[in-house]
Structure 1
Amino acid sequence: MKILTIIGARPQFIKAAVLSRLIMNDPETEEILVHTGQHYDENMSEIFFEEMDIPKPQYNLNIQSKLHGEMTGKMMAEIEQVALKEKPDWILVYGDTNSTMAGALVAAKLHIKLAHVEAGLRSFNNKMPEEINRIITDRLSDILFCPTDYAIENLKKEGFENFKDKKIVRTGDIMLDASMFYSKKQISFNKEVPNDFILCTVHRAENTDSAEKLRTIFKSLNKVGNKTKVVLPLHPRTKSKLENITSDYKAEYPNIVFLEPLGYLEMIWCLNNCRFVITDSGGLQKEAYFFKKMCLTLRNETEWRELVDNGYNILSEINENDILNNAFKIFDHRETFDKELYGDGKSGDFILQQLKKTVR
């Protein structure tokens, strides 16, 4: 069996590493990795392949940040050529990026079986480009690997049970596999990180593209930092947006410890050692739960509803009062983290066996 795996963004590198390790030890399966280049900063891409101890991609398309249409179109053209050359049994995509949708469209046009890991997730916000990518990819997929019961419910409500050519499978979350495996390899680092800190990331376009929202978020984070310092690995896009609204963001927000983007093993160290997490990321909400940390999410909605329903995650409007009130609630909040929401950490092996069984 030959699998053509399409990846392009940091979370996809981590998820793919789980399956890639398993495939390397499976004599019946060959994997061709295609890196679209969607994340091109070294700390946001290349370093992950070294840390994950997996081979670098056979193809690097170097299609860097562009407008959505141009980026997706160029990815499709390049992926199509690779697929025609390699003739895979499966095209495998992860998550909800432009790379994901480009791979899905190529698979559909070339009549190659498509597998989607993290199928069925919905924010119900069509202004998010990720939501459009998810919906299209799910509709085109032959096998939909769903991490949660909510994801399966979403597909049922959209009528996917009526598509007899599609297979919907609950797998648990492949990011749990990665967190369990790589927590043994976590890396501490010689940066100015206080002993007691809150881990924060901000990168989502709906927050960074609005100067007003960006000011509100960072002003609020700085006030939270009066109680416990906020450690924030700074996404390149967020850094650029901050520089547009202030001449010296480090001086303006002294209670925030700004870091360069971290490798995955450094982020695991931060998750293990932080007090709690503030983020607008999708994946970090789950990773906080994996490491038994509460999470404040700077969004009105989340794809991971089970975290909110079970009290592990609080959603926040982007206004100062809401952010501060919710953050200070978490300081005094205690949770047991005793629920198994995302499987048993063996999703990767289950996914591989399903692909092998289906292709036979």
Structure 2
Amino acid sequence: MKIVSIVGARPQLVKLAPIASAFAETEHHHVIVHTGQHYDADMSDVFFSGLGIPQPDVHLGIGSGTHGAQTGRILGALDPVFEAEQPDWVLVYGDTNSTLAGALSAVKMHLPVAHLEAGLRSFNRRMPEEHNRVLTDHAADLLLAPTEEAMRHLATEGLARRSALVGDVMVDVCLQVRDAVVAAGDPPAGLPEGVDARTPYLLATLHRAENTDDPERLAALLDALAALPVPVALLAHPRLVARAAQHGLELERGAIRVGRPLPYAQMVAAVLGSTGVVTDSGGLQKEAYLLDRPCTTLRPETEWTETLADGWNHLVADPREIGVEAWTRIATRPAPDATRGTPYGDGRAARRVVEVLVERHPGKERR
């Protein structure tokens, strides 16, 4: 069986790591196609070296652009790849433009598509990620869901027969890396200058369009981070850096200390060393939860609703609306006393993905 994985952005590379490892234990032929949607070395190259992912078999080098232009370029570049490879499955990951383009290109060529991390919903139609995940789910032949809640969403949309609960592959890699970091016992590396790992700090990321494109909103969020009473290690996504410069906003001020995005193992170590996380990233919300750190999410909703249980994750759409005292209390709160559940699986999701792909292998038939 031949499987082509389509990846292009940082979160997809993390998900790819356990999948590539699981395929390496089999005789199946796994082809990796990197679209180049994330082309910055901090957002791409370090994940191949740091997580032991095989180098891509194909690199499309698409680069940045508007959503429509980027998606269109990926679509056009994938057609000849699929024509040459003729895979039994095209495996797409998550909710990026690479995800949607990979699914659309494959279905137009009558190639079976499996969507990893299917069924997530924010119900916020202003998010490009929401469009991508909904359209991909309805185009795909096999929906690999990470949670029971995702399965319920798919059933509500009439997609139950195409769905399979496999667990979350992010758990596989997060727990594995956590154990290695703890065993090594080294302090977090790569933190911004001015952040001392021996004293309390918050780890922060900010990159979503709804938080960075509006200069007034971005300024307010940066003001809120800057006003916190502990150092804030802001790992600045290229989008944040570009938008801040475009809007004439200074990133490093008050409590904020600016650093670069970290390789995955260093990110896990930085979360473990922190007293909490402030983010708008879906992946980092979940990683904070898995690593027993309280998270404050700068959005009005989350796809990962399980993280909200017992106060592990707290949604704050606009810190201005709750006032400085309430914002400070929420962002700097200690970890809950409650024990976390295991809604995202047991760390063996990647093996289940391979098993389900084999079980539902469509053979030579095409739709």
Deviates more, 1:147-156 or 1:315-324: 315-324
Seq. identity, %: 39
Cross-structure match for 1:355: 357
Matched, 1:202 2:217: no
**Cα offset for 1:320?**
2.4
TM-score (norm 1): 0.93
Q: Which amino acid aligns with 2:124?
A: N
Contact 1:94 1:117 in 2 (8 A): yes
Deviates more, 1:38-47 or 1:183-192: 183-192
TM-score (norm 2): 0.92
Name segments (4+ residues, structure 1) moved above 6 Å: none
Cross-structure match for 2:43: 44
Contact 2:2 2:30 in 1 (8 A): yes
Query: Structure 1 residues 67, 320: closer, same or farther in 2, change over 3 A?
Result: same
Gaps of 5+ in 2: none
Cross-structure match for 1:267: 267
Cross-structure match for 1:138: 137
Contact 1:289 1:337 in 2 (8 A): no
Contact 1:296 1:326 in 2 (8 A): no
Query: Structure 1 residues 111, 48: closer, same or farther in 2, change over 3 A?
Result: same
Provide the alpha-carbon RMSD of the alignment: 1.6
**Cα offset for 1:272?**
1.0
Counterpart Cα distance in 2 of 1:249 and 1:67: 24
Matched, 1:240 2:242: yes
**Cα offset for 1:205?**
0.5
Counterpart Cα distance in 2 of 1:190 and 1:170: 36
Q: Which amino acid aligns with 2:156?
A: K
Counterpart Cα distance in 2 of 1:353 and 1:289: 27
Deviates more, 1:202-211 or 1:147-156: 147-156
Counterpart Cα distance in 2 of 1:145 and 1:137: 12
Query: How do 1:12-161 residues align onto structure 2 when only pairs under 5 Å count?
Result: 12-27=12-27, 29-161=28-160
**Cα offset for 1:245?**
3.6
Query: Structure 1 residues 249, 54: closer, same or farther in 2, change over 3 A?
Result: closer
Cross-structure match for 2:344: 342
Contact 2:9 2:44 in 1 (8 A): yes
Deviates more, 1:133-142 or 1:166-175: 166-175
SS in 1 for 2:360: helix
Cross-structure match for 2:8: 8
Matched, 1:182 2:184: no
Cross-structure match for 1:216: 220
Counterpart Cα distance in 2 of 1:13 and 1:200: 20
Counterpart Cα distance in 2 of 1:327 and 1:201: 17
Query: Structure 1 residues 81, 327: closer, same or farther in 2, change over 3 A?
Result: farther
Question: Aligned pair count?
Answer: 351
Contact 1:316 1:323 in 2 (8 A): no
**Cα offset for 1:319?**
3.5
Match of 2:164 among 143, 148, 169: 169
Counterpart Cα distance in 2 of 1:333 and 1:25: 38
Q: Deviations over 1:131-161 (max 9, x none)?
A: 1101110001111111111111111111223
Counterpart Cα distance in 2 of 1:292 and 1:170: 24
Query: Structure 1 residues 95, 327: closer, same or farther in 2, change over 3 A?
Result: farther
Query: How do 1:271-286 residues align onto structure 2 when only pairs under 5 Å count?
Result: 271-286=271-286
**Cα offset for 1:321?**
4.6
Counterpart Cα distance in 1 of 2:301 and 2:173: 25
Deviates more, 1:96-105 or 1:148-157: 148-157
Contact 1:22 1:349 in 2 (8 A): yes
Query: Structure 1 residues 57, 160: closer, same or farther in 2, change over 3 A?
Result: same
Gaps of 5+ in 1: none
Contact 1:314 1:326 in 2 (8 A): no
Counterpart Cα distance in 1 of 2:165 and 2:345: 9
Contact 1:317 1:323 in 2 (8 A): no
**Cα offset for 1:23?**
1.0
Contact 1:220 1:323 in 2 (8 A): no
Counterpart Cα distance in 2 of 1:309 and 1:158: 25
Query: Structure 1 residues 80, 273: closer, same or farther in 2, change over 3 A?
Result: same
Q: Deviations over 1:59-99 (max 9, x none)?
A: 11111111111111111111111011011000001100000
Counterpart Cα distance in 2 of 1:113 and 1:201: 36
Matched, 1:328 2:329: yes
Deviates more, 1:236-245 or 1:184-193: 184-193
Contact 2:202 2:230 in 1 (8 A): yes
